[in-house]
A and B are shown apart, each in its own frame.
Chain A
Amino acid sequence: MILIGLAVISQVVMAVLESRWNRLAERRHRDVRALLEEWRVRRPPPADGGAGTAPVNPDGSGLDPTAILDVTDPQRRAVLMAEAGMTAMYPYLQRYIRSRLDGADGWAVAELVDVHEPFAHGRTARFIGRYLRMVDPTTRRIHIEGVPNEMQTIAEALNWRAGDVGRSWRPDQHT
């Protein structure tokens, strides 16, 4: 009888916790959606004085990276940065190049970079993560991709990126 009672109580507790968790998740989802809607409405006009239809950055969401970095609440700033994407945010963030290689494993240039938020409004430079910045040898397009923060070398990061095949990733052809 005692075991049955404990089982019932644990079921009730689990149901309450799950319900609370779902409510919090829904509220957060609503908050994020509202925040992004608000920011899309506030999209600044283009610098060339055009009709305002062109996005601020063509690769991303149209959100203004400098305005995002002026947001004082770190959680709201993080949501907006994620929406804008690293390609759009990268030029506005602090970057510490750990290593750089020309012609690294098929890339014209590859850099292993620690990316931080910039010092602003008296706040510290929050560490965002470690990234590979790579220049495509054929198109010269720049690719910026996050890698695990424990990656120490470009070769290690490129190998992880390719799926950790158990040997060095050195493509004999790269396009």
Chain B
Amino acid sequence: MQQRQQGDVVFETVDSAPEGAQPLRRWQTEREFVLAEGEQTGHAHVMEVDAEDVGVEVLEKDGVMYLHLTRPALVSHPEHGPQSLGPGVWAVRQVRQVDHLQRLADGRKDQVAATVRE
């Protein structure tokens, strides 16, 4: 099992995508696929692919993205070094965090996990 991290996005190899995972299409251009948008900076985590011989299938289930790569792919981000993902199935998640300040502002006592804002 391999684990990788690029900023607030984590990658982990899995045996296969779970049953019921649905194909996802979020192409930015013919050669790039946006894995995650940066909410604060506007910078995205982008996977570069070859449009003619894509070699990648992108699935999604329960908020987790699954990349089925038949060839290596490169993930880039303006503020982080590139990550090279080898062939296989990768689970891709954005990290999570608790927004304690918003909880105080809302007058809530419980802790509510929220998707991280980059």
Over the window 114-137 of chain A, the binary record of Cβ atoms lying under 8 Å from chain B Cβ atoms (1 yes, 0 no) is: 010000000000101111000010
A-side binding surface: helix, strand, loop or mixed? mixed
User: How many residues of chain B are within 8 Å of chain A by beta carbon?
Assistant: 33
With contacts A136-B80, A162-B93 known, is A172 near B3, CB below 8 A? Answer: yes
Please count the residue pairs between chain A and chain B whose beta carbons lie under 8 angstroms apart in the complex. 96
Q: Say yes or no: is B5 at the interface (Cβ < 8 Å to chain A).
A: yes
The distance in angstroms between the C-alpha atoms of A13 and B4, with both chains bound, is 54
Contact A145 B116 (CB under 8 A): yes
Q: Say yes or no: is A75 at the interface (Cβ < 8 Å to chain B).
A: yes
CB B81 to nearest CB in A, in angstroms, measures: 3
Contact A146 B100 (CB under 8 A): yes
Q: Say yes or no: is A53 at the interface (Cβ < 8 Å to chain B).
A: no
The distance in angstroms between the C-alpha atoms of A78 and B37, with both chains bound, is 28
Kindly identify, within residues 45 to 88 of chain B, every residue whose CB is under 8 Å from any CB belonging to chain A: 64, 77, 79-83
Contact A145 B97 (CB under 8 A): yes
Q: Say yes or no: is A56 at the interface (Cβ < 8 Å to chain B).
A: no
Residue of A nearest to B95 (CB): A161
Q: Say yes or no: is B24 at the interface (Cβ < 8 Å to chain A).
A: no
Contact A173 B12 (CB under 8 A): no
Contact B95 A162 (CB under 8 A): yes
With a CB–CB cut-off of 8 A, which chain B residues contact A171? 3-5, 10
With a CB–CB cut-off of 8 A, which chain A residues contact B10? 162-163, 169, 171
Q: Say yes or no: is B2 at the interface (Cβ < 8 Å to chain A).
A: yes
Q: Say yes or no: is B22 at the interface (Cβ < 8 Å to chain A).
A: no
Kindly identify, within residues 85 to 117 of chain B, every residue whose CB is under 8 Å from any CB belonging to chain A: 93, 95-105, 107, 111, 113, 116
Which 9 residue pairs are nearest across A and B when measured between Cβ atoms?
Answer: A129-B100, A175-B81, A82-B105, A146-B98, A78-B104, A145-B97, A82-B101, A171-B5, A171-B3
Query: Can you list 6 pairs linking A and B with CB atoms under 8 Å apart?
Result: A82-B105, A86-B101, A129-B101, A146-B97, A147-B98, A173-B83
